[in-house]
Structure 1
């Protein structure tokens, strides 16, 4: 999907201005200067038309408290204002007092806007530029940057911020993917979220109210695009967006962007949503996010583990805790906790790891099982690779809901869109592919029509939720041992007293120990050590019995995955246990005992596992080429090479 016109020119301009900082700032600091100045310039451009009226109104007030601030915002026609007499252009009229005037200009911002700028700690950067004699040059360049909304749309502004974030992040070895998501991926997510019944209800309602939440909001792109999409479907929609962002700088960008859209900045909070949930009691209609991939959460694990242990299923993380090297599934559990009891829809972008990482009964597996138990997973879309700015790995959009359509109950839709990416003319970091508007529409058609008009398409699979579950059974075989005293077994004290038994064989452990007791008395531990040292595995030896039952041989123990029975998730606990045992025993009889007749299953060790092997579902076997065809090709190549050698006189 094409980027907004002129966006790359603005990025190139700011990138060129950043070169002015060379020598005064280190490269990893460039973003800490350029981004706040870009935000400040955007604010200035947004306020320029109403600035005279705001200044005139401000002069009528002796002090500016909450009531006066509300009136000034109304005059400014924005959620913020600036009562400084300066603009970016007029600041340049006094180069001697530029640093002081710029600081005063920033302090002239309304409280909400000033808090945004304060997050950047810009005063220190201004002082450093002033001492180095580059402040005037940098500010003059920014004054030439036309960022009026009539010239640069909010969408284009988002692209500018995010491309610069990517570039500055690369310079400082940070992860740009933690900050933002490609706009076409957001469009696809929003299309899938606001689809089907959600789409119909939004369009047909006269005055719909919808709430949207992003717990890893970055620059706020997902929230803004979700809002714009719903307003396009029904202009009467009241969309209330909420977000939380950990990174101070990206939070400041997101908050400034929302303010310019007349959205209360309090709806964009700063902090870690996993440990400091700013919307603890709130639930939302639509919840979407692209949490950072593979981020280690060990550094803030204590409150998460405490909530898991103390609150259990009454908290957010009751289903399980994933390994500390990847917190993606923590974000997913947090998002699911924000669903309304009356029905919500959740969209999240994840790497491939959450699909299958973790063995049966691991934290990851239990989280996936919990999701399927509740029948919340509606579908997964596999995206093309090389879609993101900082990674070329495979990514997937999960769509979940606690209000499935009747036809979708118990089913999961898989859409393979890996081949639907279009190569970009110019790459952006690792991003070399994009989804066109036609591709997004086609994915939406496949997803929405998975049970009817698109049902026969090879890019669609609709599977029962049991297809992703299995029981991990433990297959035992009887221990067969004979006991033979070897020289190594009696080489060291105190077992050396049994040297006279070297070379003797015994059919049972009891016979060995009886003979040993006649020579010397041993402690229980020594007896066990002696018997173990003398035991020899022998497939022709008698089965070792214990309390009338065959003793299992740990060396022959094996484990196998057996698919869950059909309809298993809908059964009650007793019926589930019966179905598991019957399915496992049937597997034993048909798949194991024809080759190992004495095997049995230890049902006490059975574990339930859930994984979603997406690529396996779309694997298509391609037979190897015929030998004759390959041989003919080799002969043709040999003939061609011989001709070249002849031409060279070799």
Structure 2
């Protein structure tokens, strides 16, 4: 059964729930039952061997767990003789038997169903007389990995979550990222390490602080397996949404990953991997979501720990916490002297330029660029994500830049590279094709300036300081308006200001001077010819950073010649007059 057919089949369970459940509650039933059936099918081939092993070891007072894990061939097991098919043989006791079956799983699986609050939903289904038909429906489908691959299963979960989020008016995009975007990000963080990753037995760690259902972790694992079947990728993650966390944990269990590495909770206020560092990281934090709920904890860490904590460089405005995840990832980078780290994060346009010099956002950009961490930013097409049509950008950061990249930043404009989807999914109407992913990856790997076939720039290389500026305060003298001193500057009378012209707040202005230019030269050229009495207050000068991405790819198109415009207007006027004459005839 292919993935769309499977999703449609599972979705048909909603027909059973209609009337007894609100649409917004369908996911609370369908998602855990899908996970249960997947686990049921995965364990089926070794079920009898596990039961026999459990009985034999329990009979001689040995702890059966380590023995049955070997028999199961997975990092989890179920020691109850029931399965979904056998549950149907006793309709009168299906609720009790289903609970007994779930309790027969190993501890990590039981935790998954606790996150789903599965027991309470089973009781509600039983009272409504729906538990048997729902169980029967799921018992009919074969979700063994031989029939439905891990990648297909991940897509099934993502499609179901998206559908449930849409009918619940929730934000589907907070839970997962389009797979082609993940493939691009994985390409970009691994591209320069192919030689290392192809070594036999290589072990690397990957972390996602906003793991969702585990899509990024899964795609990265698949990439590494394709390139080096002998390589091992240990994945780590954290997720706030209980249902997404449960699905991610189930997926990691089936793939043999250590599910203790998947933490539950809010990454910003309760770091589930404190003091750990990683080789690679990926993240798609929520766009434009405020962090007021965790503000107290974040500010405490910022103020008390400074640069020893995660948020030393600065704090963004409370209305958008995406840059906090950027700082969190930077704090998680494996130190350069221990091998270093590269990571990719998806952000909207706001982190590129929001906030003037001295603001939290600007200070974060300053920290990133002055520490030479930013390798590249890739501008993606609009309408790429399920919950928003806005422009998005992939930032690639590394503390082990190759020599050619040191002190430089690459900007890649891929906003025009997309193909239309056959069917829109929420706000997602466009997708990256394989050719687009390869082209972007090649541009990044080549690290050169480039243009498209029409001569429009698509890749540009800049020195780090190109994004910095001095924000200077230009003062003009306050002048007397009445009396004998009319028009004369007002001079200070005390302290350091004694005898000096006093500034007029109404005439005060600020200007940004590129870091590559002398402030004195700028003032001489741009300010004094227009205001000879102006001066700069050096105490108010601040250093700021912004990345005006779109400006660097803007191509001026001169207007058409005036003669051509006149000719077109005359032709239009003549057509209108001809039409009027025809009506008058």
TM-score of the pair, normalised by structure 1: 0.85
- Computed over aligned residues only, the root mean square deviation of the Cα atoms, in angstroms, reads 2.1
Q: Does 1:257 align with 2:257?
A: no
Q: Does 1:245 align with 2:244?
A: no
Aligned counterpart, 1:633 = 568
Aligned counterpart, 1:104 = 100
Per-residue CA distance 1:179-216 (angstroms, 9 max, x = gap): 100111111001000012x222222x332110111111
Shift of 1:162: 0.7
Aligned counterpart, 1:526 = none
User: Whose radius of gyration is greater, 1 or 2?
Assistant: 1
Aligned counterpart, 2:461 = 462
Q: Distance in 2 between matches of 1:334 and 1:145?
A: 42
Which one is further off, 99-108 or 454-463?
Answer: 454-463
Which one is further off, 14-23 or 623-632?
Answer: 623-632
- SS of equivalent to 1:62: helix
Aligned counterpart, 2:140 = 144
Aligned counterpart, 1:590 = 525
Shift of 1:649: 8.1
- SS of equivalent to 1:423: strand
Shift of 1:346: 1.3
Q: Does 1:427 align with 2:373?
A: no
Q: Is the 8 A contact 2:204 2:234 kept in 1?
A: yes
Question: 2:360 pairs with 341, 360, 363, which one?
Answer: 363
Q: Distance in 2 between matches of 1:235 and 1:644?
A: 74
Aligned counterpart, 2:204 = 210
- SS of equivalent to 1:550: coil
Per-residue CA distance 1:453-481 (angstroms, 9 max, x = gap): 88998200100111111111000111122
Per-residue CA distance 1:550-588 (angstroms, 9 max, x = gap): 11111111110100027xxxxxxxxxxxxxxxx111111
- SS of equivalent to 1:459: strand
Shift of 1:641: 5.5
Q: Does 1:339 align with 2:333?
A: yes
Q: Is the 8 A contact 1:445 1:454 kept in 2?
A: no
Shift of 1:23: 2.3
Aligned counterpart, 1:128 = 124
Unaligned runs of 5+ in 2: 493-497
Question: 2:390 pairs with 369, 390, 393, which one?
Answer: 393
Which one is further off, 181-190 or 544-553?
Answer: 544-553
Aligned counterpart, 2:495 = none
Q: Distance in 1 between matches of 2:584 and 2:251?
A: 72
Shift of 1:277: 1.0
Shift of 1:623: 1.4
Shift of 1:262: 0.8
Aligned counterpart, 1:480 = 479
Shift of 1:220: 0.8
Which one is further off, 154-163 or 136-145?
Answer: 136-145
Q: Does 1:274 align with 2:268?
A: yes
Q: Distance in 1 between matches of 2:179 and 2:28?
A: 24
- SS of equivalent to 1:481: coil
Q: Distance in 2 between matches of 1:640 and 1:6?
A: 58
Q: Is the 8 A contact 2:207 2:280 kept in 1?
A: yes
- SS of equivalent to 2:302: helix
Q: Is the 8 A contact 1:24 1:128 kept in 2?
A: no
Q: Distance in 1 between matches of 2:478 and 2:289?
A: 45
Q: Does 1:542 align with 2:488?
A: yes
Shift of 1:648: 7.6
Question: 1:231 pairs with 225, 229, 250, which one?
Answer: 225
Q: Does 1:62 align with 2:62?
A: no
Q: Distance in 2 between matches of 1:271 and 1:101?
A: 31
Aligned length: 575
Aligned counterpart, 1:609 = 544
Unaligned runs of 5+ in 1: 484-505, 509-537, 567-582
Aligned counterpart, 1:534 = none
Question: 1:382 pairs with 379, 383, 386, which one?
Answer: 379
Change (3 A) 1:244 1:63: farther
Shift of 1:69: 1.4
Q: Distance in 2 between matches of 1:450 and 1:64?
A: 65
Q: Distance in 2 between matches of 1:425 and 1:648?
A: 46
Q: Is the 8 A contact 1:424 1:433 kept in 2?
A: yes
Change (3 A) 1:71 1:636: farther
Shift of 1:643: 6.5
Change (3 A) 1:84 1:610: same
